[in-house]
Amino acid sequence: MSVPGFAFNPLSLAIEGAAIGFLIAVPVGPAAVLCIRRSITVGAMAGYMTGIGAALGDAVFGAVAAFGLSIVEQFVIEREAWLLGLGGIGLIVMGWMTMRHRPRTVGDPVADDRDHEFVTHLHYLTSSFFITVFNPLTVIAFGAAFAGRNLAGVGASLPDASLLVAAVFCGALGWWTIICAVSVAMRQRFTGQGLVWLNRISGAVILGFGVAALVSLLPLPWKQIGRGIGL
List the single range of 31-35, 181-185, 220-224 with lowest mean pLDDT: 220-224
Residue 98 lies in a domain: yes
pLDDT in tens, 153-189: 676 677 888 888 899 999 999 999 999 999 888 887 7
Q: Per the domain annotation, does 3 fall within a domain? A: no
Q: What angle do CA 85, 91, 92 make, to 5 degrees?
A: 90
User: pTM for the complete prediction?
Assistant: 0.75
- Residues 4-12, mean pLDDT to the nearest whole number: 70
Higher pLDDT, 7 or 218: 218
d(CA 128, CA 50): 6
Between 144 and 34, residue with greater pLDDT: 34
Is 2 inside a domain boundary? Answer: no
- Is residue 28 in a domain? yes
Residue 4 within a domain: no
Give per-residue pLDDT as tens, 80-128. Answer: 677 677 777 877 887 887 777 665 543 344 444 455 677 888 888 998 8
Tell whether 113 is covered by a domain: yes
pLDDT exceeds cutoff 70 at 77? no
Structural domain boundaries enclosing 189: 10-228
- Compute, in degrees rounded to 10, the torsion defined by CA atoms 89, 30, 199, 177: 150
Q: Is the pLDDT of residue 52 over 90?
A: yes
Number of separate domains in the chain: 1
- In a domain, residue 194? The reply is yes
**Per the domain annotation, does 73 fall within a domain?**
yes
